[in-house]
Structure formats: structure tokens, C-alpha cells
């Protein structure tokens, strides 16, 4: 039986979180996957979809006033406020596991893994079987639910985005723990559509389970569910020194660089992802 590498990295800055996901994507492409990572954001941050324009997606000054990080993801979708959540990322080589299937089917498979993990944690999670994606160029990710995303009580609990690039698949997403994500409505530029549906459209774990939310226990439930559903054994491992060094370089050159975040100019470090 093949193994799933499980990496629970704890809290990191926005730029470092995106850099580590990128490094693990390369590791999966080179044959080290499948890999499941879980993590947090410190300080809280807003991540932008790869194709979003900053001025259309977020009020940068309002973010800075709250001490929030700002970063651009390699995946598409809309702005996400990462604050009191557990984030996951899954990586595997194209042709391996979920990435042996078309995008639609791989999204379903990974959605079922997430739903299984949440149910093991005690959440009555449902997988959305609607027919259309919910992502646009502006607004908030959690204001609407796309196909194969997760809901609880009819409201969106998990928002995910997938990308296939450089011979590998990356899917990452946010599992909301508390209601802090609702503050995103105050961070959108005046030109953005009204986000009053955000509260009605989304929920969080504190509303879905009784008692305090133990995110370490949730991460373990997710790892077990992914391994079982994908017929893999689980090996929990930390980041290697080499991976940490590679991520630090990407922070400096890409994810912590305003030229990439704000699209100030062409950024050659990301050409390989086109």
C-alpha cells in the first residue's frame, strides 16, 4: 500500500504558507506525493485568487489597518480572509490518485475525503452537488458555494480551489472554525458587490459541533479520511530542512514580493506556472 505524507505545520505567515504549498507541489511532482498538509495563518491574512486585480478584490489600506497579511495564491477563486480556520492542502502528481481523473472528478473525490474527515470529527457535513462554479473576479469566496464544496446546515463551511500545473495537482481550502471570516465584508472595496449574503451563506465549526473546536484533532481526522478514501497508509512527517530553505527563497522572490502580489510587473519566478 502506498502512503500519504501528512504534514501539520501549525501557524505561519501568509507568504510562507503559500511558499510551503508550492514546495510541496514540486515534491509531489517529483514523486514524493500524495501529500496532505494542514496549517494556520499568523497573523491573519487575506489571500487573493491568482487572477484577481488587487484594487477590485480588496481594500488594501483597511487590511493594513487591521494588521492583516496580503498574499496572492497560485489557485483561482475569490478573496478569502484566513482568520480562525484550519487550512488544508493536498498535492499529488498528475496521473496519481485524484489527479488520474478529469478536474470535475478529482474535485468530487477530494470533496468526499473532506466530508468524511469532517464527519469523523462530528460535523454533519454535506457535499454540494450543484452544477456551476461560484467564483468570480471580485467579492468573497464564502458568499456562495461551488460544486463539490462542503456545507453544514445548508451553509458553506469549506471553500476550496484547485490547480494543475508543472505536472502536479494542488487543491487547498479553508475550513472555518469561527465567525471571523465575516469581517471580509468590511475589507472589500466600495466598487465590489454588496456582501450581505455572506452571513447567511456561510457557517463555521463553532456552530456545527458542540463544545470547543480542537483543530489538531480535526487535522488528524482529515488525514485518516484522506488515507482511507484513497487507499493509502499515513506517515506523519515534518518539513525537511531543504523544504524550509526552498520555501524561504520563494517568500523572498515571490510570495512576499509586492511585484508578484500587486502585479506591478511581469514576475519571471512564476512563468513556469503559466
For residue 128, what pLDDT band results from cuts at 50, 70 and 90? Answer: confident
With respect to residue 26, please indicate whether it lies within any of the assigned structural domains: yes
User: pLDDT tens, 220-265?
Assistant: 999 999 999 999 999 999 999 999 999 999 999 999 999 999 987 5
Q: List the one residue out of 158, 171, 87, 102 whose CA is nearest residue 126.
A: 158
With respect to residue 61, please indicate whether it lies within any of the assigned structural domains: yes
With respect to residue 271, please indicate whether it lies within any of the assigned structural domains: no
With respect to residue 172, please indicate whether it lies within any of the assigned structural domains: yes
**Which residue range forms the structural domain that includes residue 139?**
3-265
With respect to residue 273, please indicate whether it lies within any of the assigned structural domains: no
Strands of the sheet containing 168-176, edge to edge, are: 125-127, 150-152, 155-165, 168-176, 85-93, 35-41, 3-12, 233-236
The C-alpha atoms of residue 114 and residue 151 are separated, in whole angstroms, by 11
- State residue 270 phi and psi, 5-degree precision: -110, 5
List 141, 152, 208, 221, catalytic entry = 141
Give the helix, strand, coil percentages of the chain, each rounded to 5.
Answer: 40, 25, 35
Least trusted range by pLDDT, from 88-102, 150-164, 260-274 = 260-274
CATH code of the domain containing 200? 3.30.930.10
- Give the ranges where 123-214 is alpha helix by DSSP (H): 197-201, 205-208
Output the pTM of the full model: 0.90
Q: Which three cell numbers stand for residue 120?
A: 469523523
User: pLDDT tens, 133-169?
Assistant: 544 444 566 656 677 889 999 999 999 999 998 899 9
The answer to whether residue 141 is catalytic is yes
For residue 271, what pLDDT band results from cuts at 50, 70 and 90? Answer: very low
With respect to residue 272, please indicate whether it lies within any of the assigned structural domains: no
pLDDT exceeds 80 at position 31 = yes
Question: What's the total number of domains in the chain?
Answer: 1
Q: What pLDDT sits at residue 138?
A: 41
Unique residue bearing C-alpha cell 488520474: 100
With respect to residue 60, please indicate whether it lies within any of the assigned structural domains: yes
Q: Which helix (H) or strand (E) holds 246?
A: helix 241-250
The C-alpha atoms of residue 173 and residue 59 are separated, in whole angstroms, by 22
With respect to residue 83, please indicate whether it lies within any of the assigned structural domains: yes
ω into residue 34 within 30 of 0, thus cis? yes
The C-alpha atoms of residue 125 and residue 140 are separated, in whole angstroms, by 21
Amino acid at each position: 500500500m502506498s502512503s500519504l505524507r501528512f504534514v501539520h505545520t501549525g501557524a505561519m505567515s501568509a507568504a510562507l504558507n503559500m511558499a510551503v504549498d508550492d514546495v510541496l507541489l514540486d515534491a509531489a511532482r517529483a514523486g514524493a506525493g500524495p501529500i496532505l498538509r494542514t496549517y494556520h495563518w499568523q497573523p491573519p491574512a487575506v489571500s487573493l485568487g491568482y487572477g484577481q486585480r488587487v484594487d477590485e478584490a480588496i481594500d488594501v489600506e483597511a487590511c493594513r489597518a487591521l494588521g492583516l497579511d496580503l498574499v496572492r495564491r497560485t489557485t483561482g477563486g475569490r478573496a478569502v480572509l484566513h482568520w480562525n480556520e484550519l487550512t488544508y492542502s493536498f498535492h499529488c502528481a498528475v496521473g496519481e490518485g485524484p489527479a488520474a481523473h478529469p478536474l470535475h472528478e478529482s474535485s468530487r473525490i477530494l470533496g468526499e475525503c473532506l466530508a468524511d474527515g469532517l464527519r469523523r470529527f462530528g460535523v454533519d457535513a454535506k457535499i454540494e452537488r450543484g452544477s456551476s462554479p461560484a467564483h468570480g473576479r471580485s467579492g468573497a469566496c464564502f458568499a456562495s458555494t461551488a460544486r463539490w464544496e462542503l456545507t453544514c446546515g445548508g451553509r458553506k463551511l469549506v471553500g476550496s480551489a484547485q490547480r494543475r500545473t508543472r505536472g502536479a495537482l494542488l487543491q487547498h481550502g479553508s475550513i472555518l472554525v469561527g465567525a471571523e471570516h465575516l469581517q471580509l465584508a468590511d475589507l472589500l472595496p466600495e466598487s465590489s458587490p454588496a456582501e450581505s449574503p455572506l452571513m447567511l451563506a456561510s457557517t463555521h465549526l463553532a456552530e456545527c459541533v458542540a463544545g470547543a473546536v480542537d483543530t489538531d484533532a480535526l487535522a488528524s481526522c482529515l488525514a485518516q479520511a484522506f488515507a482511507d478514501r484513497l487507499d493509502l497508509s499515513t506517515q506523519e512527517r515534518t518539513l525537511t530542512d531543504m523544504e524550509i530553505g526552498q520555501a524561504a527563497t520563494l517568500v523572498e522572490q515571490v510570495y512576499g514580493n509586492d511585484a508578484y502580489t500587486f502585479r506591478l510587473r511581469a514576475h519571471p519566478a512564476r512563468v513556469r506556472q503559466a
